[in-house]
Chain A
């Protein structure tokens, strides 16, 4: 193992991996203009490999960052002499490793979504910006509550069969597309097709630069219910009429939507204030006056540009708003990033390490 470690500790490995990372940053930035920020991030950074020119497989961000981390660790353990004179170097390497570890935490566990609250209402729901889910909402279980059974995007692959004890039928995924286009059947489908799928077919479309403009859709087959219920259904995001499945005196609403997270606290929008530049409709500033409610807590606060609300690891930024005829609706961007402190801490450690190194090396430099 030591021999392997010493090989990995070679400076060339770190150097070439870093050069490759710079290449990824350059091509990722250039391609971003064409395919959009999110797609570029997925293709070049959150990937094991990507296809350059559409056919040449090259290493993506994951292996590159992994090699940099392991090479740096090997260098610290096997090549750096663990003596007092090298203390600055050791601390600096440790800071670098911590920075990469923080990046890993952000890549693996960070969360981004949006919260939409109309004036005078409250919510605890965040909709993920990118990940989708297929939700079956049982609306017949009680008068006050619905029971939601939601399958995450990982399940939405052709051929997957979705089963759950809450569902008196099973669902086979026939087609899923992250961005679908609707095509009206020339002749509406008859027996075996239900609701929306009778009128429209869903076809995959190219992903849009603005990831939030994509409309995910799903075609699925229901089996295990009665003959009237079994058959083909389809759902697409923002359907004006929700698809329902009625079986055994139960009514299920079926929705494809951005994955929802339900927070253990709620935010109530008391008022939304918008100021415009005089003589125009351009927003100068806007802010949300909200109440944060969590068990005994009922705290009044303001969310506005450069003044986010931070609570229980979540940060709420004022992102946008929707102006209706009678009431306004605020749109808050919600971010949860467990690694957000790592860049600050590791930068401090690296600066401290370099300072120590400078202090320890100064007498030798003076001697020379």
Chain B
């Protein structure tokens, strides 16, 4: 009899507490906090702590998971009906093969013939800190690449945005902002 009562009590308590705990809390908390400025660095917490560079994420961009090659990976928003642009930040040692060889490789990706340094100058945009970016567009199929490569603490940093020309045009200033914001972690 005692055993039956004990069993009943423990089993029912267990089931009731278990069910009540599994419901989502509906709680309203009110408290006071010292005034604080938004900790901007929290936004950067998603960046891998091992990434050799840091950056400021442009407004509206979404950070994706980085990979072995990409130290930064983002989606830039697109106008309705278009896919978001894919943006990557890659850091390689040395001069990484030079500008022209890399540009010709990217031109091939959007089905364009190789270019010359003189031709490339026409599509080069200048930023502060002697950083440049190149606008590569295939008018036939609308495919485009905006890419910047520059030296930073002995490494070469590649910032590349790939997508449809219309999408990339809408994100031009954000792309420039990202390129300008990149700094080395090395002190």
- A46 CA to B52 CA, complexed, in Å: 38
Residues on A with beta carbons closer than 8 Å to the beta carbon of B122: none
Residues on B with beta carbons closer than 8 Å to the beta carbon of A70: 11, 14
Least CB separation from B2: chain A residue: A77
Contact of B8 among A1, A149, A240, A241 (CB under 8 A): A1
Indicate whether B112 reaches chain A with its CB closer than 8 angstroms: no
Bits for A182-200, please: 1 = Cβ < 8 Å to B, else 0: 1111100000000000001
Number of B residues near A (Cβ < 8 Å) is 57
Indicate whether A368 reaches chain B with its CB closer than 8 angstroms: no
Spell out B's residues near A (CB within 8 Å).
1, 3-8, 10-11, 14-15, 17-18, 21-36, 38-39, 41-47, 49-50, 52, 54, 57, 59-60, 62-65, 77-81, 183, 185-186
Q: Is the CB of B32 within 8 A of A146?
A: yes
Bits for A1-27, please: 1 = Cβ < 8 Å to B, else 0: 110010000000000000000000000
Q: Is the CB of A186 within 8 A of B10?
A: no
- A262 CA to B17 CA, complexed, in Å: 26
Contact of B26 among A77, A107, A152 (CB under 8 A): A152
A56 to chain B, nearest CB (A): 22
Indicate whether A323 reaches chain B with its CB closer than 8 angstroms: yes
With A73-B11, A116-B41 as contacts: A325 and B183 at CB distance below 8 Å: yes
Bits for A243-258, please: 1 = Cβ < 8 Å to B, else 0: 0000000000000000
Q: Is the CB of A108 within 8 A of B21?
A: yes
Q: Is the CB of B41 within 8 A of A322?
A: yes
- A166 CA to B8 CA, complexed, in Å: 45
Bits for A71-109, please: 1 = Cβ < 8 Å to B, else 0: 001100110000000000000000000000000100111
Indicate whether A52 reaches chain B with its CB closer than 8 angstroms: no
Indicate whether A340 reaches chain B with its CB closer than 8 angstroms: no
Q: Is the CB of A182 within 8 A of B3?
A: no
B81 to chain A, nearest CB (A): 8
- A154 CA to B24 CA, complexed, in Å: 5
Residues on A with beta carbons closer than 8 Å to the beta carbon of B52: 281
Residues on B with beta carbons closer than 8 Å to the beta carbon of A298: none
Q: With A148-B31, A242-B38 given, can you name 13 additional A-B contacts, CB distance below 8 Å?
A: A2-B1, A74-B7, A109-B21, A144-B34, A146-B34, A147-B30, A151-B28, A154-B23, A184-B77, A186-B80, A208-B65, A241-B59, A282-B50
Q: Is the CB of A116 within 8 A of B42?
A: yes
Contact of B45 among A48, A184, A209, A331 (CB under 8 A): A331
Q: Is the CB of A322 within 8 A of B50?
A: no
Contact of B80 among A46, A108, A166, A185 (CB under 8 A): A185
Q: Is the CB of B46 within 8 A of A154?
A: no
- A104 CA to B19 CA, complexed, in Å: 11
With A77-B6, A77-B7, A215-B62 as contacts: A152 and B27 at CB distance below 8 Å: yes
Residues on B with beta carbons closer than 8 Å to the beta carbon of A281: 50, 52, 185-186
Q: Is the CB of B18 within 8 A of A62?
A: yes
Residues on A with beta carbons closer than 8 Å to the beta carbon of B41: 116, 118, 322, 324, 329
Indicate whether A296 reaches chain B with its CB closer than 8 angstroms: no
A343 to chain B, nearest CB (A): 19
Q: Which 4 A-B pairs have the closest CB atoms?
A: A154-B24, A154-B26, A108-B21, A1-B4
Q: Is the CB of A146 within 8 A of B33?
A: yes
Least CB separation from B71: chain A residue: A281
With A240-B59, A324-B54 as contacts: A69 and B7 at CB distance below 8 Å: no
Most buried by A among B5, B18, B81: B18
Residues on B with beta carbons closer than 8 Å to the beta carbon of A48: 22
Indicate whether A283 reaches chain B with its CB closer than 8 angstroms: yes
Indicate whether A66 reaches chain B with its CB closer than 8 angstroms: yes
Residues on B with beta carbons closer than 8 Å to the beta carbon of A184: 60, 77-80
Q: Is the CB of B25 within 8 A of A154?
A: yes
Least CB separation from B47: chain A residue: A322
Indicate whether A265 reaches chain B with its CB closer than 8 angstroms: no
- A281 CA to B49 CA, complexed, in Å: 10
